[in-house]
A and B are shown apart, each in its own frame.
Chain A
């Protein structure tokens, strides 16, 4: 087992934990955090696999992809959080209506 394998397995586990959070957690802020966890796991797998070159020098193409992906994930997080703020301002809720308790009034 090499260092690259160790970190790749760790990245896969991070992705799994994030996916669990996206599916299970009800609060929307927790869903956003879980999505970020999934992204971090993916980046960890990519960088770990870039480390498996025969000459010991890591491949630079996955590094550039991960660097771009970090910036894109931050902007996607900002968009999700802005949508969450708007949703909370309009409905006073932080969960989707799929999870909300069924009340008599639907206008809340």
Chain B
């Protein structure tokens, strides 16, 4: 039983490190964000192992869910080509 828990802990730590490396190594930004969300979920498991279930819940909801949604929304806003300004709007801004 104890060795099984050790295997679980080592697997969790190894997957955390691997996910962090892959997050920075992937060329695709969308894939990097999805890997970061996965890292947050694995981190929630690690905190449940460290006797901190309240932090695990907060991490799963805020760290993985809310941060991932913010990152994905920003990625969509960045990659979308900006709408060209109409002449009337442009003069309004310049004035």
Contact present for B20 and A14 (CB under 8 Å): yes
Are B46 and A27 in touch, CB under 8 angstroms?
Answer: no
Task: Given A29-B75, A33-B36, A47-B52, verify A77-B67 contact (CB < 8 Å).
Answer: yes
B70 surroundings in chain A (CB, below 8 A): 74, 77-78, 81
Cα A82 to Cα B21 in complex, Å, equals: 26
Number of A-B pairs, beta carbon distance below 8 Å: 113
1/0 contact string of B42-84 vs chain A (CB within 8 Å):
0100110111101100110011001100110011011000100
CA distance A33 to B51 in the complex (A): 26
Main secondary structure on chain B at its contact with chain A?
A: helix
Return A16 CB to nearest CB of chain B, in Å: 9
A20-B24, A44-B46 are contacts. A71–B62 as well, Cβ < 8 Å?
A: yes
Query: Are the C-beta atoms of A33 and B50 separated by less than 8 Å?
Result: no
Is A42 interfacial (CB 8 A cutoff)? Answer: no
Flag B1-43 by CB within 8 Å of A: 1 or 0 each.
Answer: 0000000011001001100110110000100110010011001
Identify the closest chain B residue to A68 (Cβ).
B58
CA–CA, A5 and B59, complex, Å: 21
Tier of interface size on chain B: 35 or more
Q: Which residues of B contact A94 (CB under 8 A)?
A: 78
Interface size on A, residues (CB 8 A): 45
Give Cα A53 to B55, complex, Å.
18
Partner of A3, one of B21, B50, B52: B50
Partner of B20, one of A17, A30, A73, A77: A17
Whether A7 lies near B50 (C-beta < 8 A) is yes
User: Interface residues, chain B, CB within 8 Å of chain A?
Assistant: 9-10, 13, 16-17, 20-21, 23-24, 29, 32-33, 36, 39-40, 43, 46-47, 49-52, 54-55, 58-59, 62-63, 66-67, 70-71, 74-75, 77-78, 82
5 residue pairs bridging A and B, Cβ less than 8 Å apart: A7-B9, A34-B24, A47-B52, A67-B58, A89-B82
